[in-house]
Structure 1
């Protein structure tokens, strides 16, 4: 009985490693594509038992959005999604509470991404 539990735990741990690596690979590919579009700011928020949120924004020399990614979830199945509604907007037009009106975690992540761009 104990050996069966150990085997199940080891298989679950291995599956977590494989699926986590798959998620990181998908994000890295999307992030690399974003980095080719301009300077990138990244913000992250969330906690252990809340969905983690990552927002990345690419800006050109005129501080216009050339690309944006949003990834939110509790599991390794969360995937990066492009935020097409931000394309072409000026950094001054980006208000996290307007873009994500009912999502404080995404608001926080976007705010952090924008602060990195000002620095």
Structure 2
């Protein structure tokens, strides 16, 4: 019984790995297509329970959005789709009213692309967004540190 469970877990891991590779291939294909036409701003909203969202915004030399695509979903079966409604807008001038027609996570990913573009344009580096799993690990570690500090009479 235990061996069967291990075999099923291993098969599940391999299938997930292969599907993940296909998703990366889909990202690479879409990014390359957009990059051939100009610069690309990337926005992301990682999530575990909610839909993870990734946005690719292709910009012309005036920083106007010419083409936009997004991938949103909770599974590795998610693929990029066209994102309509932003064409011709300057990335720096996209605001909340421009995002009203999109769901909340997609809007946040578009704003992340805007922020990422701004940071890179000004010579900065993008801070890595911690994965949802990493956020959970940090939260649990923080709880243990706080508890340990209280046990030993340490205060912050």
Q: Could you report, residue by residue, the CA deviation over 1:54-91 in whole angstroms, capped at 9, with x for unpaired residues?
A: 01111111122121111100000000112243223333
Tell me the CA shift for residue 19 of structure 1: 0.5
State whether residues 96 and 110 of structure 1, in contact with CA within 8 Å, keep that contact through their aligned partners in structure 2.
Answer: no
Unmatched segments (≥5 aa) in structure 1: none
Tell me the CA shift for residue 50 of structure 1: 1.5
State whether residues 55 and 110 of structure 2, in contact with CA within 8 Å, keep that contact through their aligned partners in structure 1.
Answer: yes
Task: Tell me which protein shows more strand as a share of its residues.
Answer: 1
Unmatched segments (≥5 aa) in structure 2: 122-156
Q: Which moved more, 1:72-81 or 1:92-101?
A: 92-101
Partner of residue 106, structure 1: 106
Quote the RMSD (CA, aligned, Å). Answer: 1.8
SS at match of 1:75: coil
SS at match of 1:69: strand
State whether residues 54 and 71 of structure 2, in contact with CA within 8 Å, keep that contact through their aligned partners in structure 1.
Answer: yes
Relative to the length of structure 2, the TM-score reads 0.69
Supply the distance in 1 between the matched residues of 2:33 and 2:52 (Cα, whole angstroms). 22
